[in-house]
Structure 1
Amino acid sequence: MEWDAPALVDTRDERPPIERRAVLRGGFYEMQARTLIERVPQVAGIAQSWGVSPYRGCAHACRGCGARAGHRALGLDAGRDFDTRVVVRANAVQRLRAELGRWDGTPLAVGVAGDCYQPAEDTYRLMPGLLTALMRAAVPYTVYTKSALALRDAALLAGPGAAVAVSIASVDERIRRTVEPGAPGAQARLELVAALVEAGVDCRVLMAPVLPLLADAADQLEATVRRVAATGARRVEPIVLRLPAATRDWYLDGLAREHPGLVERYEQLYDPQGLPSGDYERRIVGQIGQLAARYGLECGPPPPPARPLPQADQLALV
């Protein structure tokens, strides 16, 4: 008797890669990272070329977040999954310590694949260990966040080589509720900046992303710069919205629902790599630069930081 049939038991595992590699615990995908220091995509527009992210995905659900593509490599989608299925690199502190042992001191960005002070940090508390490791290795870094939870670590963030960039794209709450539905409001972030400055933290405002045709009117830009100046921050760093492939799809889907007349104009404004027109970007950054000067702020990315001295472990007194 001849058999021409498939195997009796199908052993293929068709789950997304993250579900095969991670443990689902408390609503988070908990996994062990093989590498923590990763290349920052050039399209991100920030000063650092390398970054560290204890979390991938972000509950802030910002439509224009440029980190969305990372979820596709995990077998998840770059839209709703990025907002709701957050990946925790549970061994982040141990991995960072190991990798810093052979790092050349190049400055690092912290929190580029997902806000490092999003709600998952309340549960996992990875940031104090990461900040301590960076301080002891004397590696300059900038934490990118929108969350007041950063105040918990203000003493560490005020240390040598540390800086914080708080993202405030606009003080127009109608816009914020649409494009950053899970993030704290602008007033809460302005208060965060003021509190960090008062605590001695090197804190600037990342005016990002500036949203073309939604939050780029002259009065909107001035309102944001004026209120940033009132916090005591010394610098504002503008970045116009980037739309790399995964982010572009999600952002334009929302735009088509809420402002369908703008979709064609966005298609004309952005190139295939997700970068806005150079003329448009120069005009917006120039406007913000003029406003910053009017209100006594420096504008643009800060100068490269000097590398601090390594921190030795403190010996107990006996």
Structure 2
Amino acid sequence: MRRDASSASGAGTPARHPVQQSLLDQSPSRPRIERQAVTRTFDGVTCYEVPARTAVEAVPAAAGLPYRWAASPYRGCAAGCRHCAARRGHRYLGLDPVSDFATRIVVKTTLADRLRRELASPRWAGDPVVLGLTGDCYQPAEETYRLMPAIVRAFADAGNPFTVLTRSPLVLRDLDLLREAAKVTQVGALVPVGFVDDRIRRAVEPAAASPQRRLEICAALNDAGISCGVLMAPILPLITDSGDHLRATVRRAAEAGAVSVTPAVLRLPAGARESYLAWLEREHPGLVPRYQTLYGNGQLAEEGYRGRIAAQVATLCETYGIGRSARRWRRRRSPDRQLALV
């Protein structure tokens, strides 16, 4: 998606004429979200423009993140990761969480204005907020709508701490804004890198940036003074949970200067469960019974397994010095292997 120089109502005007669906068509067969939104299509991706009814939402405890609150300008994500736990939300919109998640994106066009009101409320305690939990806030739709600059300014004007969760190099577009915000409040970033084997990434995260590219983003943000860690998610049971996989991922995070590594084992809520298990049955059918034992009918792997993985990652982080400001582990590398944005 691309945007020209003009804008309206805080959202960019598309460079190409979108296909807009009439709101007069109220057929009950249409998805619920289509009966409530202005619908535009860009390059095969349908965007549903809606006003934000609320900005800050509670983070599910099962997400395994150190945040209580989240705000997301987009619901759905063009990266289309098979395992994405946010797929579940599409079901509530009358959309298919498997087939529609990457091609039908909800755009909360007024999120920045709503956010300003909520952050100014006397009932708001000023807690840290993570951005992008229901869809990458720097996915391709952001090139068209440009919602994030106003959102960053809203947090800065309120002096409210926030963390950007993204896999996309587009975040570097707003580097100056993030640095300005960091002068008045705590600003951080998390880059999801569950594993560093790009063959697996192509299978389960087909449209996402490569692990190498994400680690370059982490390095660039840290070099610019924006504290960036790695969300080691998802760790895929029986696929990327071996000692070698875990060690390689933590080592590469350390090389990139990650200030933290937060491990999170694959979750399988509704939507993600159907998408991921369909791939697993097709590509690794022998693993399906073991997943059924590990997950049962729930979205979380058994507690003992998750605890073992967390302990292994914690030990590796200690080995490579992640989280210790006095020392960062570096492997000796030739200049052509240095992390660099290209």
Q: Using structure 1 for the length normalisation, give the TM-score.
A: 0.88
Unpaired stretches in structure 2, ≥5 consecutive residues = 1-25, 325-342
Q: What secondary structure does 2:230 align onto?
A: strand
1:233 paired residue among 258, 267, 275: 258
| Counterpart mapping for 1:119-268 below 5 A | 119-158=140-179, 159=182, 160-268=185-293
Aligned sequence identity (%): 52
Number of matched pairs: 289
**Aligned-partner Cα distance in 2 for 1:89–1:97:** 14
**Aligned-partner Cα distance in 2 for 1:90–1:169:** 31
4+ residue runs over 3 A deviation: none
* Deviation digits for residues 261-303 of structure 1 (CA, Å, limit 9, x no counterpart): 111111111143311111111111111111111111139xxxx
* Deviation digits for residues 194-213 of structure 1 (CA, Å, limit 9, x no counterpart): 11111000100111111111
Worse-superposed segment, 25-34 or 142-151: 25-34
* Deviation digits for residues 2-46 of structure 1 (CA, Å, limit 9, x no counterpart): xxxxxxxxx863311111111122331111121121122222111
* Deviation digits for residues 170-228 of structure 1 (CA, Å, limit 9, x no counterpart): 11011111111110001111111111111000100111111111111111111111111
1:13 paired residue among 28, 45, 50: 28
Matched, 1:83 2:125: no
* Deviation digits for residues 90-149 of structure 1 (CA, Å, limit 9, x no counterpart): 111111112212122121111000000000111111111101101111221111110111
**Aligned-partner Cα distance in 1 for 2:158–2:295:** 40
Which one has a bigger Cα radius of gyration? 1
Unpaired stretches in structure 1, ≥5 consecutive residues = 1-10, 300-318
Matched, 1:48 2:48: no
Worse-superposed segment, 49-58 or 22-31: 22-31
Which has the bigger relative contact order, CA under 8 A and spacing at least 6? Answer: 1
**Aligned-partner Cα distance in 1 for 2:259–2:53:** 38
Q: Using structure 2 for the length normalisation, give the TM-score.
A: 0.82
Q: What secondary structure does 1:19 align onto?
A: helix
Partner of 1:24: 39
Change (3 A) 1:12 1:57: closer
Q: Which amino acid aligns with 1:199?
A: A
**Aligned-partner Cα distance in 2 for 1:156–1:208:** 27
**Aligned-partner Cα distance in 1 for 2:28–2:294:** 42
What RMSD over aligned residues (CA atoms) do the two structures have, in Å?
1.4
Matched, 1:34 2:34: no
Q: Which amino acid aligns with 1:14?
A: S
* Deviation digits for residues 46-65 of structure 1 (CA, Å, limit 9, x no counterpart): 11122100000001111111
Worse-superposed segment, 32-41 or 54-63: 32-41
**Aligned-partner Cα distance in 2 for 1:169–1:233:** 14
Q: What secondary structure does 2:241 align onto?
A: coil
